[in-house]
Amino acid sequence: MKKRILSGMRPTGKLHLGHLVGALANWTKLQGEYECFFMVADWHALMSEYENPCSLKANTLDNIIDWLSCGIDPEKSTIFIQSQVPEHLELYFILSLITPLGLLERCPTYKEQLREVTNRDLSTYAFLGYPVLQAADILLYKADAVPVGEDQLPHLELTRQIVRKFNHLYKADCFPEPKALLTEAPRLLGLDGRKMSKSYNNYIGLSEEPEDIRKKVQNMITDPLRIRLSDPGHPHKCNVFNYYSIFFPEMKQEGQERCSKSSIGCTTCKKELADKIINLLAPIREKRKALLKDKKLIQDIISAGSLKASGLAKKTIHEVKGLLKL
């Protein structure tokens, strides 16, 4: 029996290179080894986008198309949308019964978001419970492991605390304690050297047009100490070199030498990088184009995924209700 994993993504915008190295490359790899559930966390997105939910549905579809284009295979993995499986909310409520308020208030991600996010109001009842819904997502399928980035570790720890309390209170071993499968993603900065983020508009989208990719790469900041072509560059201080090392590790050695020996100028180096990224994304773009022509196929994949997820979800809720004497 393969172990089961579940992971999710909030549909808050277009996917970019950061999602590719941070999650999708890893998800694709895990498909062979685990029974995989990949979920669009639209309820989670709504917790921050509730004032302006117009693009959630389009983003949900767009993200799933990107997943498929990047190699998530619906024959191997269950792809579904959180809001299409109502049991998520049912378990979310049940878990909220036993989740201590203090754990949520002290959660570092919660405190950070309240501090950092200024363009919307996150001081809501639902947002405090964000990790409880995430715990419900994971436990509904009794996932053994959850592939996540480091930022999500507090949510996994909270999930495990909820599991221990639930199993103890109801004298059951209903839920396994899910492990984090830490994605060892290299640190990919945004094009401007800041954290890659939708709100900074400093990313390359997976479905971006080649011309736009060229323009964006050409605007990347290189080693500020290298003014003339003959100045030796410092590749380790250059974000362009960082992109080479992450996406084209086979070029790392050569890239480093030609920069520090000033045998290539930054403009040429960036032009080559843009071409390579365009090539890298070409098969994804092609697959995406083909999928866009077959809306029915995508709908079928989503319906089949929701159906499969629902089957498991219903079983868990039945079991949990029994334990609660409902």
Cα torsion 248, 213, 20, 191: sign: positive
Residue with smaller CB distance to ligand TRP, 56 or 277: 56
Residue keyed to tokens 């050569």: 254
Nearest distance, CB of residue 326 and ligand TRP, angstroms: 25
Which residue blocks in the chain are alpha helix, DSSP H? 17-19, 25-30, 42-49, 56-69, 87-98, 101-105, 108-116, 125-128, 130-140, 153-169, 210-218, 239-247, 252-260, 266-292, 295-323
Burial of 280 (0-12, 13-18, 19+ CB in 10 A): middle
Closest CB 43 distance from ligand TRP, rounded Å = 8
* Residue 84 CB, nearest approach to ligand TRP (Å): 14
Token pair belonging to 221? 């900041």
Whole-number Cα distances in Å, 222 to 126, 218, 238, 243, 265: 43, 10, 5, 11, 10
Q: Tell me which residues touch ligand TRP (CB under 6 A).
A: 6-10, 41, 44, 134, 137-138, 146, 148, 152
Judged by beta carbon, residue 16 or residue 44, the one nearer ligand TRP is 44
Nearest position to ligand TRP, beta carbon: 8
> Smallest distance from the beta carbon of 207 to ligand TRP, in angstroms?
20
* Nearer CB in complex with ligand TRP: 155/288: 155
Which residue's CB is nearer to ligand TRP, number 82 or number 256? 82
Residue bearing tokens 């500020």: 224
Least distance in angstroms from the C-beta of 119 to ligand TRP: 18
- In whole angstroms, give the CA distance from residue 223 to residue 234: 6
In whole angstroms, the minimum distance from the beta carbon of 146 to ligand TRP comes to 5
Nearer to ligand TRP, 65 or 148 (CB): 148
The answer to whether 91 and 317 are in contact (CB under 8 A) is yes
Among residues 113, 98, 115, the alpha carbon closest in space to that of 44 is found at 113
Of 64 and 146, the one with the shorter C-beta distance to ligand TRP is: 146
